[in-house]
Amino acid sequence: MSGHSKWSQIKRQKGVADVKRGKVFTKLANAVIIAVREGKSGDPLTNFKLRLAIEQARAANMPKDNIQKAIDRAQGRGEGAGQLEEVTYEGYGPLGIAVIVEAATDSKNRTTSEIKNILERSSGSLGGPNSVSWMFKATGLVNVKKEDKNADEIILAAADFGAEDAQEAGEIVEIYTKPDDVEKVKEDLEKAGYEIESFEVLQKPKNLVEVTEEGKASQVLQFIDKLDNLDDVVKVSANFEIPDEILTKIGQ
């Protein structure tokens, strides 16, 4: 199991904590708004990204009314209608790791300042469009609970359903797909009797920067956490890998 997979587990655990605090609802609502605007439709039947955002919101037990309010806001109705815009930032963090930050904000100047400040305080820098995005590939990810199933069995089933790659990550099997196939693969796995923990479309790094020192590993994780904790930030992608033994030593 790679350190990158372990980081995926940490993010999932953090997500659970965020749900308990209610903080994640704001980020999920922003993801719904972005999906409506990108797909130019508030109908999940015709807007794949919106279906994905709604299912993720439901998986986090976000109230139906909150989801509908987000859709209405994206279409120019309700409180704050028309104020939110999607912004993607690219840059470098500590140790030269590449980061992509996807945000939804009603004040681009504020969000840009907050993100730039975190990057620069972490010995990094804010870059321009496409400065690091070439290091990543848009990828679908379906996390399948192993439970009493064998990981190889799940991986073979996923391959039959069109998955591109897969790896075991503790109690989860991570299934990677083409972005447009993530929903189909997820549904096929469910029909085959497998339990899905989560699914999303993310920016998967093509190459990873290995971080093997405890102090530097803590620095990287704190940096990512600061970005992720910003209210306007919807998603953070980075190209680092920390070995499991280092993560264990620093208490992750």
Separation CA 146–CA 151 (nearest Å): 6
Residue 111 within any structural domain of the chain: no
Q: How confident is the model at residue 244 (pLDDT cuts 50, 70, 90)?
A: confident
CA angle 168, 169, 174 (to 5 degrees): 65
Strand 98-105 relative to strand 165-169, pairing: unpaired
Residue 178 within any structural domain of the chain: no
- The reported pLDDT for the residue numbered 157 is 95
Please tell me the chain's helix, strand, coil percentages from 3-state DSSP, rounded to the nearest 5.
Answer: 50, 25, 30
pLDDT of 234 over the 70 cut: yes
Residue 152 within any structural domain of the chain: no
Domain CATH number, residue 56: 1.10.10.200
* Overall average pLDDT of the 153-169 stretch: 93
Separation CA 154–CA 213 (nearest Å): 34
Range of the domain at 22: 9-74
Separation CA 88–CA 94 (nearest Å): 19
Provide, rounded to the nearest whole percent, the portion of the chain with pLDDT above 90.
Answer: 48
pLDDT of 160 over the 90 cut: yes
Give the dihedral sign, CA 93/97/98/101. negative
Separation CA 244–CA 221 (nearest Å): 13
Cβ-proximal residues to 107 (8 Å cutoff; 6+ apart), any chain: none
Residue 189 within any structural domain of the chain: no
Tell me the pLDDT tens digit for each residue of 105-128: 889 999 999 999 999 999 999 999
- The reported pLDDT for the residue numbered 22 is 58
Q: How confident is the model at residue 74 (pLDDT cuts 50, 70, 90)?
A: confident
Separation CA 206–CA 126 (nearest Å): 20
Residue 31 within any structural domain of the chain: yes
Closest C-alpha among 74, 80, 70, 63 to residue 37: 74
* Overall average pLDDT of the 228-252 stretch: 84
Residue 60 within any structural domain of the chain: yes
Tell me the pLDDT tens digit for each residue of 7-51: 455 555 555 455 445 567 888 888 898 888 888 888 888 988 899
- The reported pLDDT for the residue numbered 96 is 94
* Overall average pLDDT of the 186-205 stretch: 91
Separation CA 227–CA 125 (nearest Å): 13
- What tokens were used for 216? 């530097």
Question: Number of structural domains, the chain?
Answer: 1
Residue 195 within any structural domain of the chain: no
Residue 32 within any structural domain of the chain: yes
